Amino acid sequence: QPLSKRDKRRNNITDKLADMIQTFTQDQHQHYRAQLQAIQVDMTMILRANPYENSPLDDSAEDVEREIENVTGGSLPNTDAAVKDYLALAGKRYHEYVQQVNHALEQRDADLTALQNRYEAAVAELEKSSSYKVQVAQREHLELATTVRSRLINSVTKKRD
């Protein structure tokens, strides 16, 4: 009895799955080693990065690849599948770390700019208030001096008379 399309498809999928499982189990050690190497490369790059500079870290794909090349010295895992695992993971966490650091730097710079603007606005307001109070004090002083002078003149003229 011939197989239906559904049965053929099911058999194809089952065969592919069995091949994938067999390939993975054969190269399991290399897969895990490649993933471990990728994680170690990321950790090394994160430890080497200096987030305390006043400039953002390089986060372009070329820079990350160059840094991976510097860390590994160009050595890659042995099998093609392990190389794919390694290339898929190496630099991924480092790139996320660099983006977080750069975002934090941008946020810090924005906060510092806002703080500087508030400071300058407060200084301008204090200078304006101080200038106004000085002008009021000068006017009051002038008025008081005029009043005292006129009272002295009146008291002297009353004593004369």
Reported as a single tens digit per residue, the pLDDT across 104-147 is 999 999 999 999 999 999 999 999 999 999 999 999 999 999 99
Range of the domain at 25: 5-130
**Residue 109 is assigned to a structural domain of this protein:** yes
**Residue 150 is assigned to a structural domain of this protein:** no
Total count of domains within the chain: 1
**Residue 155 is assigned to a structural domain of this protein:** no
Rounded to 5°, the CA angle 63-68-73 comes to: 125
**Residue 157 is assigned to a structural domain of this protein:** no
- For residue 28, pLDDT over 90 is answered with no
pLDDT category, 99, cuts 50, 70, 90?
very high
Backbone angles phi, psi at 27, to 5 degrees: -105, 20
- For residue 75, pLDDT over 80 is answered with no
Look at residues 42, 149, 136, 54 and name the one whose alpha carbon lies nearest to residue 90.
42
Q: Please, how many CA atoms are within 13 Å of residue 103, restricted to the half-sphere of its CB?
A: 6
Q: Which residue has the higher pLDDT, 44 or 133?
A: 133
Q: Which residue has the higher pLDDT, 143 or 161?
A: 143
* Cα gap 40→46, rounded to integer Å: 10
- The mean pLDDT of the chain is 88
- Would residue 91 be called left, alpha or beta, if left means φ above 0 and alpha means ψ between -120 and 50 degrees? left
pTM reported for the whole predicted model: 0.63
**Residue 138 is assigned to a structural domain of this protein:** no
Backbone angles phi, psi at 3, to 5 degrees: -80, 145
**Residue 148 is assigned to a structural domain of this protein:** no
